[in-house]
Amino acid sequence: MPDIMLAQNIRRLRLQKDMTQEELAERLGVTSQAVSRWERGGCCPDIALLPGLANLFAVTVDDLLGMEELRSRARVNDIYAQADALVRQKRYREAALLQEQALKVWPDEYGLMAGMAQALVLADSAKQVHRAIALCECVLANQTSVKLRGTTMASLCFLYRLAGEAEKARALASGLPHARESREEVCKAFETMTDREALLHLTHPSS
């Protein structure tokens, strides 16, 4: 992750300065091929070059390395862990509040949004189900992660039922991935079937 951020930042800052790779290389006393490799993430600049790079772009070395983003990610991960611990302790309202406050800082953190929906319903399903549904629908409208979308869709099926929308729940459930295509089923097939049998099982389960 840090190497990727550094590569992206060098390219972004170079373009902001309207410099070519050749011009940057000349200023730093390296080859243009070296700059190209840095920006592709193939290798990193020598540590001795970082202060010069930062000064050239008028940023700090921390900015160049993307340290603030890394620290931010660490804080988000810590909130996920805290919320999970609260849910395990059945302190659902506290978990929901923690995630709600975090979303004010990281509004695009859709995993927290999905977790908040779950915690709200566990705390008080009757009063919070419609709010939880809105949160889950927001996740599905904005998130591309296959895992998070699948988990959120499954949760939403039960939330719709809680809200008395059985038809909506059934319609959503019918669009969920089939269990045969799950990680567990594929790994099980590795152990119990030949590759040919597994392919037949996944595509024609009645055969």
Q: Are residues 84 and 162 in the same domain?
A: yes
50 and 88, same domain (yes or no): no
Percent of the chain with pLDDT over 90: 62
CATH number, domain of 76, equals 1.25.40.10
Whole-number Å distance between alpha carbons of 24 and 57: 10
Look over the chain and give the mean of its residue pLDDT values, rounded to a whole number. 88
Per-residue pLDDT tens for 131-181?
999 999 999 999 888 889 988 999 999 999 999 999 999 998 888 877 766
Dihedral angle sign, alpha carbons of residues 21, 23, 24, 30: positive
Pull the structure tokens for residue 160. Answer: 């719709």
Residue-wise pLDDT for 110-137, tens only, equals 999 999 999 999 998 788 999 999 999 9
What is the model's pTM?
0.63
Into how many domains does the chain fold? 3
Helix axes 2-16, 50-57, angle to 10 degrees: 40
CA end-to-end distance (rounded Å), the chain: 45
**Both 123 and 189 in a single domain?**
no
Please write the tens of the pLDDT for every residue from 83-109.
Answer: 999 999 999 999 999 999 999 988 999
CA-CA-CA-CA dihedral for 131, 132, 137, 142, to nearest 10: 100
**197 and 141, same structural domain?**
no
Lookup result for tokens 């024609």: 204
Q: Which domain holds residue 185?
A: 178-207
Give the integer Cα–Cα distance in Å for 110 and 95.
15
Q: Within 13 A of 123's CA, how many CA atoms are on the CB side?
A: 19
